[in-house]
Structure 1
Amino acid sequence: MSGSSDESDAPDLPAAEPVPRSRWRMQLVWLVPIVAVLIGGWLATKAILERGEKISISFKTGEGLEAGKTKLKFKDVDIGVVEAVNLSPDHKNVVAQAEVARDVASLMVENTRFWVVRPRISGGTVSGLGTLLSGSYVDVDVGNATKARRSFVGLEEPPVFASDVPGREFTLKSTGLGSLDVGTPVYFRRLRVGQISSYQLDPDGRGVTLKVFVNAPYDRFVKTDTRFWHASGVDMAIDTNGVRIETQSIVSIIIGGVAFESPPDSQEEANAPAGTGFELYATRADAMRKHDRIVDKYVVNFIDSVRGLTVGAPVDFRGVVIGEVTAIYTRFDPAHNRFSIPVEIQIYPERFTSRYQGDRTGGRISDDPRGVANYLIEHGFRFQLRSGNPLTGQLYVALDRFPDAPKATIDWSKTPPELPAIPRTLQSLQDSVTRLLAKLNNIPFEAIGTDTRTMLRSTNTMISQLNNEVVPKARDTLASAQSTLDSANTALQPDSSLQQSTEEAMHELTRTAATLRTLADYLSRHPEALVRGKSEDTP
C-alpha cells in the first residue's frame, strides 16, 4: 500500500527527448574574440601602414631637444617628432631619434638640412623669438638630391637661405674677415640683394674664404669681371672736389656689409656661373682700380730715409700712377760700409700706352722693354722719394728726368733688376748741411781762440803804450799845429801887412806881365830888332 501511495504522489515528469547539437551556438560564442582579433589586426595593419620613417640627427648639444615633445617642421607644418635623445657612442655628440610622416619620407635625401630653432641674434638679424612661448623645434630644409638618406648631421647655425630660394652662390677670397658675419647683407647700388651664407679660414691660414648668396633676379648683375669690396663703415676721401663720404646704409655702418659692381667701362655681358671665385677688396677704390695684365718687377735702392713710405704707395710718373710699392727691406753694403733701403716696386707697362695712339689698345710701348729702360736711365730718368701729403708725411716713389744726374746703368743680372735712384731735394740739402758742419768741425776754433786772446793781450799792451807815450806827444804836436794855424790865419787877414805886401807884389807882377806881352808883340812884328836893336819910327 505504501509503495503504491508513494508512487502515486510523485509528479509526472516528461520523458527526455534527445536534441541534436547546434553548430551556430558554438560560432556565436567565438564571435567576440574573432571580431577583436580582426579589429586588432586591422589596427596593427593600419599602424604599420601609417608608421613614419625613422631617422637620426646628430647635434653638438641637446639644447632645445626633448623626447616626445620637440617637433620637426617643414614650412611651419609638423612632419614628425623627436622620439628619443641619446648620447653618441663616443659621447661627443647628441643623437636625436625622430620619426617623420610617411608621406614626407621622400623628402629625406642627401642634402636635406636640420637645425634647432631657438632665439638667435646673428648678422644684425633676430630670429626664433616665437620659440620663447612655443618651445624650440627642429626646422627642415629639403634638398634637391635624389638619393635617400636616414642619418643626418644637424647644423649648429640656421642656413641663411633655403634650398628652394632662387639665386646663385659665389665664393670670395679675402685676407681678413673684418666685421663680416653669417647673414651680413650684400649690396648692389645700395640695394640689399643677398647675404653672406658662410665663411671659413683657409687651410694655410693666410686668408678667409666666404660664401655669398645673391638673390634672383639680382644675381644676373654678377658678371665675370664684377668686383666685390668691403662696404663696412664709412669711406671718406679728400680730393679736388672737397671731402667725399660714402656708405651703403646705416646697417652697413653698424654690422658691415659687402658690395659689388662691374667697372664703368666693362663690356662683359656673360653672367658668372654659380660658385665663381672673386677677390674681396678692402675699398671700392681698390676694387674699381684698373687691373693690369702685364706686371714688371724691379728694385729701387734708396740711401735716404723711407720713413712715411708704405707698401701699396704709388709709383708716379708726372702725376700718372704707373705702379706701386710691394715690399721694403734693408741692406748692408760691406764694400762701402753703409746701409741702404731696397724697395720692390711693380711697374705696369700698359699705362705708358694710350688707346688714342694709333691702333694700340694696351701692351708695351716697345717689343724691347730692356732697351726702353736702358734708354730712359741713360737720358737721366731716375726714381726719387717725394712727399705726397705734408700733413701725414706719406711718401711716394716718383719717376722723373734729372739732366744733371750722375751716370748709371741697370743691373739686369739681379732678380728683380735694380734701377738707380737719386736722393730727394730735402735729403740733398741735408747732406750739404752735413758736409758744411763737417768742415766747420775741422776748423781749430780752440787754437784760433788762443791766438785771439794772445793778440788781444798784445793789443792791450799797445794801447797802453799809446796812452802813455804816443798820446802826450801827439797832444804837443797838435798844439804846435794849432799855433801855426792861428799865425797863418792872422797873416791872411785883409788888413794884415802880409796881405798888403802880397797885393802890391801881385800888381807889380801884373804890370811886368803886360810889359812882357808888349815886348813879345813887338818882337813878333820886328824880329830884326833882336840884332839891330829898336829902330826909331819914321814919321
Structure 2
Amino acid sequence: MSDPVDRPGASGVPEAVATPRSRWRIQIIWLVPLIAVLIGGWLAAKAIVERGPTVTISFETGEGLEAGKTKIKFKNVDIGVVKSVALSSDHRRVIATAELTREASPLLVDDTRFWMVRPRISGGTVSGIGTLLTGSFIGMDVGNSTKPRHDYTGLEIPPVFASGVPGREFILKGADMGSLDVGSPIYYRRLQVGQITSYQLDPDGKGVTMHVFVNSPYDKYVRADSRFWQASGVDVSLDATGVKVNTESLVAILIGGLAFETPDDAADDAEAAAKTQFVLFHDRAEAMRRHDRIVDTYALVFKESVRGLAVGAPVDFLGIVVGEVVAINTRYDPVAKQFSIPVEIHLFPERFTSRYTKGDQGAGGRLTADRQKLAQTLVDHGLRAQLRTGNLLTGQLYVAVDFFPNAPKGKLDWSANPPELPTAPGGLQSLQESVTSLLAKLNQIPFGGIGKGAQKTLTDADSLLRQLRTDVVPQARDTLAAAQTALNSANGALQPDSALSQSTSDAMTELARTASAFRSLADYLERHPEALIRGKQEDKK
C-alpha cells in the first residue's frame, strides 16, 4: 500500500492546475504609448493635410527678412511666414522660402506679385509707415492668370495699384523722364485721375518708356488722338496781356506730373484701348499743336551761312507754317572744291490744301494724293526756299518758301532721297551779290585816266587861284574900302540931326500941306463941279 501522504488531496490542499498564457494578452501599461502614437500620427496626418504651399521669393537684398518672423500679408491679412533666408547659388540674390496657409493656394498664380513693405516716400506718396513699429513684411498682390506658380522674383518697388482696380493702363514714349517718378500723378483738366506705374530706358538708349494707369471712370476720356505732356514745374509766358503763370497743381511743381487732353477737332474720337501707345511731349503747346498725318521730306542746299538756323525752325509759306527743319549738315563737292549746307526739312502737304472753298473740296484731295505733281507745279511757277531773319535781336533764321518769278527754272529729282528743292539766295547774300556787282562795275571805270585829268584840272585851278590872289584880290580890296566909305557917308547922312534928315523932314511937311490942299480942292469940286468951267465964284454977301 502506498503512503497516504503521497496521494493527492490527502492533506486537504487543492492541487494547482497550470493554465496556458494567452498569446494576445496586452498589459495595460502599453496602452499609454500606443495612444500617444495614435494621437501623434493623427496630428501628423492633420498637419500634412492642412499644410499650405511653400513658395520661394528672390530679392536683391535681405533687408527686413528674418526667418520665422517676417510675415506675408495679402490685404493686410497674415497668410504665411518666411521659414528660411539664404543666398542664391551665384551669391547675387537672396532667396526667401515661405510657407503659406492652405487657403492661399489659389492665390499662387503666374502673375502674382510679392514685394517688401518698408517705409517709403516716392512720387509724393508715403507708404509703409506702420512697419516702423511692427517691422517689415512681404506684401502680396494676386494676378488674373490661372497658371499655378511657386517661385517668384520680388519687386524692388511696390506696385502703385493693386490688381483688379478698375481703369486702363497706357504706354507713353518720351525723350526723357524729366522730374517724373513712379507714383507721379496724371491730371485731366487739373483733376488727378491716375499715376505712373513704372518706367524703363529704351533698349537703344534714345528714350524712355513709361507705363501709366488711369483710374475708372476717367479712363474713358483717353481717346485715340489724346495728347500727353509733362506738366512739371511752372509755365511762365509774357504777351500783350501781361505775364501768365500756368501749372497743374502744387504737387506737380514739387514732384512733377503728367497731363493729357484731346483736341476739339480730333479726327479719331474713339476711346483708346488698354496698352495703347502715345507720344509724351515736353509741354502743352507742343502737344496740342497740329500733328499732320502726311509728311514729306525734302533737302534744301544753301551755299551761304546758316548761322541762326536751328533744328525745329519753321518752314513758312506766305505766313503759314507748312513744315519744320529736322537736320542741318555739311557737304563737300570734290569737283567744284566747294562746301554746301544741305538742310533737311519736313513738309506737310495737307496745309497747302486745307483751306479750299466748300465748292472745291475735291481739289485738295487730288493735290494731296499726287504730291509730286503738286511740288513740281509749284517749282515750275517759281517756288523757291530762302533763308530769312525771323528775329533781329537774336538773329534767328527760318526757311521761307515763296515764289520768285524771275528765278531760273528748276526741276525736282525724285530719284534722290530725299528730293532736293531749289533755293534762292537770302537777303544778306543778295545784298552781298549787289555790292559785288557794283564793285565790278566800279573796277571797269578808268580811274587812271580820270586821275590824270583831275591832276591837270587841279593844276589849272591852282594857277587861277594864284592869278586871283595877285590881280583880283588887290582890286577887290580897294573896291571894298570904297564901299565902306560910301556906307559910312550914308550912315552919317541918315542920322537924326543931319542936314539931310532936316531937309527930308521939311520936304515931308510940305508934301503933307500940298496933300491937304489937294484934298480941299477935291471936296470943293465935288460940291461945285461947274467951277471947272466957270471958275470959282465969289461968295455972295
Cα deviation 1:159-209 (Å, max 9, x = unaligned): 121112111111122222222222222221211111111122222222222
- Is residue 192 of structure 2 the alignment partner of residue 198 of structure 1? no
Provide the C-alpha distance between the structure 1 equivalents of 2:233 and 2:454, rounded to a whole number of angstroms. 71
Output the amino acid matched with 1:406.
Answer: A
CA 1:22–1:435: 2 relative to 1, 3 Å: same
Distance 2:317 2:417 in 1: 23
- Secondary structure of 2:194 counterpart: strand
1:56 maps to 2:56: yes
Which has the higher Rg, Structure 1 or Structure 2? 1
In 2 relative to 1, CA 380–411 (structure 1 residues): closer, same or farther, beyond 3 Å?
Answer: closer
Q: 1:102 to 1:463 in 2, by over 3 A?
A: same
Shift of the alpha carbon at 1:59? Answer: 1.0
The change in CA–CA distance for 1:95 and 1:443 in structure 2 (over 3 A counts) is farther
For residue 235 of structure 1, what is the aligned residue in structure 2? 235
Contact kept? 2:186, 2:195, Cα under 8 Å? yes
Question: CA–CA distance in 1 between the matches of 2:308 and 2:107?
Answer: 62
Q: Distance in 2 between matches of 1:78 and 1:374?
A: 75
In structure 2, the gaps of 5 or more residues are 1-11, 483-541
Partner residue in 1 for 2:495 = none
1:315 positional shift: 1.2
Distance in 2, Cα, partners of 1:438 & 1:64: 87
Mapped pair 1:30 → 2:63: no
Structure 1: which 4+ aligned runs deviate by more than 6 Å? 13-25, 437-467, 476-480
Kindly tell me: are residues 301 and 284 of structure 1, through their superposed partners in 2, closer, same or farther at Cα, counting changes over 3 Å? same
Amino acid corresponding to residue 426 of structure 2 in structure 1: R
Q: Partner of 1:278 in structure 2?
A: 278
Distance in 2 of aligned mates of 1:85 and 1:364:
72
Aligned to 2:75: 75
Q: In structure 2, what is the Cα distance between the partners aligned to 1:124 and 1:446?
A: 85
Aligned to 1:360: 361
The 5 A counterparts of 1:358-437 are 358=359, 360=361, 363-365=365-367, 368-403=370-405, 405-413=406-414, 414-433=416-435
State how 1:338-349 maps to structure 2 within 5 Å: 338-349=338-349
Is the partner of 2:163 in helix, strand or coil? Answer: coil
Per-residue Cα deviation, 1:459-518 (whole angstroms, up to 9, x for no partner): 889977987xx45x98599989x99xxxxxxxxxxxxxxxxxxxxxxxxxxxxxxxxxxx
| Cα separation, partners in 2 of 1:41 and 1:305, compared to 1, 3 Å | same
Letter aligned with residue 410 of structure 1: K
Distance 1:386 1:53 in 2: 75
> How far apart in 2 are the matches of 1:370 and 1:399?
16
How far apart, in 2, do the equivalents of 1:53 and 1:61 lie? 24
Q: CA deviation at 1:136?
A: 0.8
Partner SS for 2:367: coil
TM-score, with structure 2 as normaliser? 0.75
- 1:63 shift after superposition: 1.0
* 8 Å contact kept, 2:60–2:94: yes
Give ranges in structure 1 of 5+ residues lacking alignment.
1-12, 484-539
Partner Cα distance (1:200, 1:349) in 2: 36
Shift of 1:116: 0.8
Secondary structure at 1:95 match in 2: strand
Q: Could you list the per-position Cα deviations for residues 270-318 of structure 1 after superposition, in whole angstroms to 9, with x for gaps in the alignment?
A: 3222112122222222222223222222222223322222212211112
Structure 1 length as normaliser, TM-score?
Answer: 0.75
Relative to structure 2, which stretch is displaced further, 302-311 or 54-63?
A: 302-311
Partner of 2:256: 256
Matched residues in 1 for 2:164 and 2:178: separation?
Answer: 30
Residue 34 of structure 1 and its aligned partner are, at CA, apart by 2.6
Stretch moving more, 387-396 or 279-288: 387-396
Whether the 8 Å contact between 1:198 and 1:212 is mirrored in structure 2 is: yes
Question: Equivalents in 1 of 2:459, 2:155: separation in Å?
Answer: 101
Task: For residue 111 of structure 1, report the CA deviation from its aligned partner.
Answer: 0.9
Matched with 1:94 is 94
Distance 1:452 1:21 in 2: 171
Change (3 A) 1:41 1:214: same
1:331 positional shift? 2.7
Please report how far the alpha carbon of residue 100 of structure 1 lies from its aligned counterpart in structure 2 after TM superposition.
0.5
Q: Which residue of 2 aligns with 1:134?
A: 134
Match of 1:529 in 2: none
Question: In structure 2, how many angstroms separate the alpha carbons of the residues matched to 1:136 and 1:127?
Answer: 12
Report if aligned partners of 1:294, 1:363 keep a CA contact under 8 Å in 2. Answer: no
Change in 2 beyond 3 A, CA 1:45/1:477 = closer
User: 1:186, 1:259 within 8 Å by CA — same for their partners in 2?
Assistant: yes
Q: Please tell me the residue identity of whatever aligns with 2:164.
A: D
Quickly say closer, same or farther: Cα 1:429–1:27, change in 2 above 3 A. Answer: same
Give yes or no for the alignment of 1:114 onto 2:111. no
- What is the count of residue pairs matched by the alignment? 469
Q: Distance in 2 between matches of 1:252 and 1:479?
A: 98
Kept in 2, the 8 Å contact 1:322–1:349? The answer is yes
Distance 1:190-1:367 versus aligned 2 partners, 3 A rule: closer
Q: Percent identity?
A: 58
- Distance in 2 of aligned mates of 1:366 and 1:48: 76
What secondary structure, in the 3-state scheme, does the structure 1 residue paired with 2:307 have? coil
Could you tell me how far apart the structure 1 residues matched to 2:399 and 2:244 are?
A: 26
Closer, same or farther: CA 445–122 of 1 in aligned 2, 3 Å: farther
* 3-state SS of 1:34 partner: helix
| Cα 1:433–1:45 shift into 2, 3 Å | same
Distance (whole Å) between structure 2 residues aligned to residue 450 and residue 273 of structure 1:
90
Q: 1:61 to 1:438 in 2, by over 3 A?
A: farther
Partner letter of residue 420 of structure 1?
Answer: P
Distance change >3 Å, CA 477–CA 273, structure 1 → 2? closer
SS in 2 for 1:30: helix
Deviations 1:207-240 (A, max 9, x none): 2221111111111222222222222223344556
